[in-house]
Amino acid sequence: MFPLRLCLRSTLSLVLCAAFSLTTALAASSARVFRAGAATSNVTPPLGAGIVGNFVIPPATHIHDELHARCLALDDGTTKLVFVVVDNVSINREVYDEAKKRIQAATGVPVENMMMSATHTHSATSARGSNAMVMRGPGETAPLDEYQSFLVQRIADGARRALNNLEPARIGWGVGQVPQHLFNRRWKLKDGKTVVNPFGEQDRAIMNPGSSRTDLEAPAGPTNPELYFVSVEAVSGRPIALLANYWLHYVGGVPTGHISADYFGAFCDRIQELLGADRQSPPFVGLLANGPCGDVNNVNIKGPPQKHGPYEKIRIVANDVAQEVMRVRKTIRHQDWVELKSAQSELDLKTRRPTPEMVTRAKQIMARPDTVAPTHRLEKNYAERTLSAVNWPDSLRIVLQAFRIGELGIAAIPFETFTETGLAIKAASPFPTTFTIELANGGYGYLPTPEQHQLGGYETWLGTNRVEKDASRKIEAEIKALFAKVR
């Protein structure tokens, strides 16, 4: 047996060690400082450039509101994250990759800690390069055109300025409900009826069918009424930034030839006004990232007809979203510190290829005189896309990401993602609150589920959709694995 004095000394030593460890841990905890910073870069293109998003590309003749790259930087003392949301319909991966490379070289923030996405406004010029129909396989690159190069520099500058603006901050997040503007735009037809598509095939689903049709059965998919947001404020309570996520396509109602950030930009302006954050230094930054809404718009074909003037519906939607953010924001607690984590992977997906019969038919359509009436009004558009698809690579490589902000999870996908995919990701997430940002780190067209592919319709057509029909399932599984890494 040990002498009593020795036992007492040993016990005292253990108590002192435990007390020292606890004191050290508490000191380290109190020393943790959460920081945030934000900035914007103007990315408005010159007049005369083509406005993309529809099958007709008019030149820009007027700028209604400026386009921006809106940047938010977060820092938990160990990890820095950068989020960038750009007012554009879709931006190629190589643009983002070059911007990330420049940011990392200047700041040391790893590229996998940066998320960059497009809002999907249909009133901006192209950031897809001189030949938007060309697809490139893994490792293939192409020179950036003038506007893409401009975007790279502006995005990089904005992110660096957001990092320069880092200051002690608090962060919180919340979820609201804005269901009144969400309608699934894909409708199934009654009694097994079909409609012809540009390839001469029969579809069971139709996009934007119009209110006069009597053969509509039901919407082909769901909507998600939830509105998500992350609020960041200085320790004094001054608003720094607010990043929101709403699952709705662009609104439109923009006159031909006008450049506009659509409701995404209008929301950012309105939330700044409601927060009383005008003319701050540094300036407040609002961001509205688009969620999985490849099959959702704001047209209620079963409701009474509505008429709105130019930009009127944009302002209505933006205000409703901003007002709901303000309502919920009053109920949340901004935390002094949360842990930040990120995970990224690259996934190879097979591309869809036209059959020999489709190629033959496309060539016949392209050779046909314009005096011959088409069986579908977009026949020639998709004949051109079919012939372009002959030269597509066998596969493409996409970037997928998952982020952790405390008990909030964020997924990032480079497609126009269907709402049901976003809901599946949310259901499988280990976090109590989860949302998905679409058109992130690239843009590869629509991402229907396998079940939606069976119904057909615009979003499933070759050229609108570019990847294998079970791609959404593979992406869901990969995002789940990435969430496990950051959890």
CA angle 65, 69, 73 (to 5 degrees): 140
297 DSSP 8-state letter:
E
The answer, yes or no, to whether residue 2 has pLDDT greater than 90, is: no
For 424-441, the pLDDT digits (tens) are 999 999 999 999 999 999
Computed on alpha carbons and rounded to an integer, the radius of gyration of the chain in Å comes to: 25
CA distance linking residue 259 with residue 67, whole number of Å: 8
Give the pLDDT of residue 30. 55
CB-CB contact of 83 with 287 (8 Å): yes
Give the pLDDT of residue 140. 74
* Lowest mean per-residue pLDDT among 2-6, 334-338, 425-429: 2-6
CA distance linking residue 161 with residue 180, whole number of Å: 37
CB-CB contact of 382 with 463 (8 Å): yes
* Helix residue spans in 221-288 (DSSP H): 262-274
Return the bridge partners of 36, or none.
Answer: 74, 167
307: three-class secondary structure by DSSP: coil
Mean pLDDT, to the nearest integer, of 394-405?
97
Give the pLDDT of residue 25. 40
| Distance, CA of 212 to chain centre | 33
Name the token pair of 9: 């000394």
CA distance linking residue 250 with residue 89, whole number of Å: 9
CA distance linking residue 348 with residue 237, whole number of Å: 45
**DSSP-assigned states of every residue in 72-139:** EEEE-SS-EEEEEEESSS-B-HHHHHHHHHHHHHHH---GGGEEEEE---SSEE-BS-S-TT----TT
Residues 6 or more apart in contact with residue 25 via CB below 8 angstroms:
none
Backbone CA torsion sign across 210, 214, 219, 223: positive
Give the pLDDT band (50/70/90) at residue 138.
confident
User: 168-177 b/e with 16+ CB inside 10 Å = b?
Assistant: ebbbbbbbbe
Give the pLDDT of residue 133. 62
Give the pLDDT of residue 60. 97
Give the pLDDT of residue 229. 99
3-state helix, strand, coil in the chain (%, to 5): 35, 30, 40
How high is the mean pLDDT of the chain?
A: 93
